[in-house]
Structure 1
């Protein structure tokens, strides 16, 4: 929780920068807010001077011994010192000292109970209204006792012995009540401002956390997209280049065609990366290619044709209504792209690669099956068959310690709350099976 002295000209530091509050009106108010100790000292002086003056002036004419007067002066001075040191941090100590001072000084010299009022004000402001009312109840009893003793020791010549006690009692209670009510008013306003400042600080930190989370999500998305684009394109280009180098001696025409396909794959990769990274450029600097839509299921034939050109025998089968959601289309496209890239990288000798996309029963099911070598490096995330259909965000496998291929697929599937199963298919081949909940109705409308 952000906290600061209740001086609105002080900044409250919040995550992500300073949170500055409006300055209060008036130079004097800001000066007192910046010098709390000076305020406490002035309060103590205002209390101390009239009380000590009354005690000193009454000493020569009163029947009280000098040492008693000196003791009372020291007691009043100690109460004033407590006002300076502990009025804000330990107001209960000040109230207790005020009670002692009232009981020992007030009955003999009929001085006011201003110390109690100051203590109750401090309780209400720096503790709570409940503490102030408890202190007021005890203070009323203490003031009444002091007034009763004073009425017995020195009856007032103006009111007489019978009328002095009610007057003194009313003076003690009213003075304490005024200090309590003023303190409660000021304390409630202070606590309200502190709550507002804390709330604004919490909102500022929440804003920064949301911004950091959005940044992390966007970075993960860009990393995932770049992996898919770069991994796919480089795998296809490397495969085509190796094939062209192998056939350059006996079939130069075919080798030249392979190198043209390498160039086409490179250009396509550059265009896609430029479009994907367009979000990082300043507004107004996007190119026409940067505003092109992301690939979807309509681009699936072109994707498969690129893999066929690289020597991968891919067949596509679709069932159900077309997918209308462009985000879901991109997810399906990237999953198929990554699965085929893994086949091309790790099982280039596969004789059959089947891609199935089915949209039915409120679900999009994608399956990529090949008959290549069932063993895969760590980044292909082999999993036992009995762990199939586990939610994608809990899927485990060797990919957790390897590359980002299956990790990126799992992240895409987790966005939709779907499931991912990737692992060997019996003694030969590999299967990637994905189920994604579709926001569209099964009939596609």
Structure 2
């Protein structure tokens, strides 16, 4: 997954290839957006040419030494170059150049603050509103000083110094203020649009992460179901096949019955596998197998009978109200199935396996205990090694979905215990959920 940098200047494909920004309205705006250098050159020309013309026209009216004229032209030229080079990247440089030009160059005995206004606009757009107001405060001070110099140091014979000062001061403050306000408006809109785009990018990335997480969780659920089906069926089939092979010589009838049970177990496993794979291949399938309900607590007697046929002495004890939630029923069924599969695989010599399902204080407790003979060290190593660890992880995940607790470990000197506690509160009508 890659994220492209979005810009309001042109359409850009964003995260996942779905998010597209609309084009700015109008051919002219799109043209300016694609040629920022040309825009900077035109802005510099709009400043340089009028000021240069004013300096040229003022020369015959108010003759000045040649070096003063050359200095003024150089300052205006340097300011124009700074507009092209630094207006977007370093607007403070342009503001500083505007201050210098304002204090030195006075075409037609007025204060030239156009460069300052352009610099303050750039500050507001490309930096921040705070920087723009700081720049405006400094510009007001510079403009006041320039107005004082124009009015009192170089007074005009046609206008009173006080009147000239007020006119120059109004120009020195109003023009930068206009540039600042326009820049703040444009800059705030630009930053707001940028924040919206960044938010959309974050939402798109979060959507992709949620989709990946949901996919991982679904794959984990499918793997857990597949493990429960395959592990249980294969364990029973292998045990029955071994028993049939061992008794085939002395008791052919019993061996044949065992092989028939192997075939029945294999068919049941195929039915469950076909149902799950059919749902994965076509979620809208209407096959009878796809519509068949998942096993629940009602199927526990049949499950236990299959283990008894494989030679595992299993007893079932229930207490309290029955389970009505089909999802909770499936969880109980899978926990019992996996625990008995582990007992059949790792404790084939067990003389007793007890399955207990009871309700106590709003909790559903499921416990599977066997008395398999053998050292606890070997039991722990066997039951936590290889693929068996997936079964314990699957049971733990099923219980965690309901916010319950799960324990699996040795019991006393011999045996193993699997215990799960699942919250099953009462509904307002008093029935158990």
| TM-score normalised per structure 2 | 0.93
The answer to whether structure 1 residue 436 and structure 2 residue 418 are counterparts is no
- Using the TM superposition, give the Cα deviation of residue 155 of structure 1 relative to its aligned residue in structure 2, in angstroms: 3.2
Structure 2 Cα separation of the partners of residues 90 and 160 of structure 1: 40
Give the 5 Å matches for 1:338-377. Answer: 338-374=338-374, 375-376=378-379
- The CA deviation string for residues 48-70 of structure 1, in whole angstroms up to 9 with x for no partner, is 11112222343355332112211
- Using the TM superposition, give the Cα deviation of residue 109 of structure 1 relative to its aligned residue in structure 2, in angstroms: 4.8
> Residues 380 and 405 of structure 1 are in contact (CA less than 8 Å); yes or no, is this contact kept in structure 2?
no
- Aligned twin of 2:413: 427
Give the match's secondary structure for 1:295: coil
> Residues 113 and 175 of structure 1 are in contact (CA less than 8 Å); yes or no, is this contact kept in structure 2?
yes
- Using the TM superposition, give the Cα deviation of residue 361 of structure 1 relative to its aligned residue in structure 2, in angstroms: 0.8
Aligned length: 426
From the superposition, tell whether residues 341 and 57 of structure 1 become closer, same or farther in structure 2 (CA, over 3 Å): same
Deviates more, 1:113-122 or 1:86-95: 86-95
| TM-score normalised per structure 1 | 0.90
Deviates more, 1:36-45 or 1:279-288: 279-288
Deviates more, 1:231-240 or 1:121-130: 121-130
Give the match's secondary structure for 1:423: strand
- Using the TM superposition, give the Cα deviation of residue 35 of structure 1 relative to its aligned residue in structure 2, in angstroms: 1.5
- Aligned twin of 2:389: 403
- The CA deviation string for residues 319-362 of structure 1, in whole angstroms up to 9 with x for no partner, is 01001111111111111000000011011111111100012211
Structure 2 Cα separation of the partners of residues 218 and 190 of structure 1: 42
> Residues 86 and 93 of structure 2 are in contact (CA less than 8 Å); yes or no, is this contact kept in structure 1?
yes
- Using the TM superposition, give the Cα deviation of residue 162 of structure 1 relative to its aligned residue in structure 2, in angstroms: 3.1
- Aligned twin of 1:268: 268
Structure 1 runs, 4 residues or longer, greater than 6 Å off? none
Structure 2 Cα separation of the partners of residues 241 and 47 of structure 1: 96
- Aligned twin of 1:204: 204
- The CA deviation string for residues 112-143 of structure 1, in whole angstroms up to 9 with x for no partner, is 31101101111111122222122112111111
- Aligned twin of 1:387: none
Give the match's secondary structure for 2:341: helix
- Using the TM superposition, give the Cα deviation of residue 188 of structure 1 relative to its aligned residue in structure 2, in angstroms: 1.4
Q: Which runs of 5+ in 2 are unaligned?
A: none
Give the match's secondary structure for 1:19: coil
From the superposition, tell whether residues 334 and 96 of structure 1 become closer, same or farther in structure 2 (CA, over 3 Å): same
- Aligned twin of 2:383: 380
From the superposition, tell whether residues 307 and 105 of structure 1 become closer, same or farther in structure 2 (CA, over 3 Å): same
> Residues 316 and 354 of structure 2 are in contact (CA less than 8 Å); yes or no, is this contact kept in structure 1?
yes
Give the match's secondary structure for 1:312: coil
- Aligned twin of 1:11: 12
- The CA deviation string for residues 187-244 of structure 1, in whole angstroms up to 9 with x for no partner, is 1111111111111111111111111110111011111111111000000011111111
- Aligned twin of 1:329: 329
Give the match's secondary structure for 2:417: strand
Structure 2 Cα separation of the partners of residues 403 and 68 of structure 1: 90
Structure 2 Cα separation of the partners of residues 111 and 379 of structure 1: 92
- Using the TM superposition, give the Cα deviation of residue 274 of structure 1 relative to its aligned residue in structure 2, in angstroms: 2.2
- Using the TM superposition, give the Cα deviation of residue 95 of structure 1 relative to its aligned residue in structure 2, in angstroms: 0.9
- Aligned twin of 1:307: 307
> Residues 13 and 19 of structure 1 are in contact (CA less than 8 Å); yes or no, is this contact kept in structure 2?
yes
Which structure has more relative contact order (CA 8 Å, sep 6+)? It is: 1
Structure 2 Cα separation of the partners of residues 343 and 176 of structure 1: 86
> Residues 24 and 30 of structure 2 are in contact (CA less than 8 Å); yes or no, is this contact kept in structure 1?
yes
Q: Which runs of 5+ in 1 are unaligned?
A: 382-397
- Aligned twin of 1:144: 144
- Using the TM superposition, give the Cα deviation of residue 404 of structure 1 relative to its aligned residue in structure 2, in angstroms: 0.9
> Residues 111 and 146 of structure 2 are in contact (CA less than 8 Å); yes or no, is this contact kept in structure 1?
no
The CA RMSD over aligned residues, in Å, is 2.1
Give the match's secondary structure for 2:258: helix
Structure 1 Cα separation of the partners of residues 262 and 372 of structure 2: 24
- Aligned twin of 2:53: 53
Give the 5 Å matches for 1:78-117. Answer: 78-106=78-106, 109-110=109-110, 112-117=112-117
